[in-house]
Amino acid sequence: MNSAASVNPVLRVAPAAPAEAAAHFRASLAFHADVSDVAAALARDGDPGFVVLDSRSTEAWDQGHVPGAVHLPTALIPEQAEQLLDKAVPVVTYCWGPGCNGATRAALALAELGYQVKEMLGGFEYWAREGFEFETWQGRERRPADPLTAPLEGDDCGC
């Protein structure tokens, strides 16, 4: 029996052709960066070639943010971006975490103003969960890495 009801739910819609899939995933990488890659680039000596932008509220910023990030809530981007950001420098946006689309909205607002922009997948939640140092209004902090989100210290996830 070959009915639609007996088809594996993962394959109910067939995967795209390899060339189409490659184009999709290549495009995705043009729009997204992950927390580990952003942290690694910021940890290297010298200019990482981009600026990190936290698009959350002041209250969220004070609770913790990526060191060196620019704070610019999404609603203020149209009126303040040009005073805080250089259009020649790509911007990586983030908000709280994967359940929030604030970084996407911030990236859209910046792109509409002519900035090159990527979104940091995972947001601040995964920055902290992966054990990277962050700043609060009280100073710098670091939490132990969550073993479900980050490789053990010294290990590389291989991706």
Choice among 6-15, 55-64, 99-108 with the minimum mean pLDDT: 6-15
* Region label for 156, one of left (φ > 0), alpha (ψ between -120 and 50) or beta (otherwise): beta
- Is residue 2 domain-resident? no
- Is residue 97 domain-resident? yes
Give the total residue count for the chain. 159
Domain of 43: which CATH number?
3.40.250.10
Dist CA 15 CA 142 (whole Å): 41
pLDDT at 150: 72
- Is residue 76 domain-resident? yes
Is the pLDDT at 152 greater than 80? The verdict is no
- Is residue 152 domain-resident? no
- Is residue 116 domain-resident? yes
C-alpha radius of gyration, the chain, whole number: 18
Is the pLDDT at 95 greater than 70? The verdict is yes
- Is residue 134 domain-resident? yes
Whether the model pTM is above 0.85: yes
- Is residue 79 domain-resident? yes
Is the pLDDT at 96 greater than 60? The verdict is yes
Number of domains within the chain: 1
Calculate the average pLDDT of the chain: 92
Is the pLDDT at 140 greater than 90? The verdict is yes
- Is residue 18 domain-resident? no
Where does the pLDDT of residue 1 fall: very low under 50, low under 70, confident under 90, or very high at 90 and above? Answer: very low
pLDDT > 90 fraction of the chain, expressed in percent and rounded: 80
pLDDT at 49: 96
Q: Which residues contact 20 (CB under 8 A, 6 or more apart)?
A: none
Structural domain boundaries, residue 62: 32-141
Is the pLDDT at 154 greater than 80? The verdict is no
Dist CA 45 CA 53 (whole Å): 20
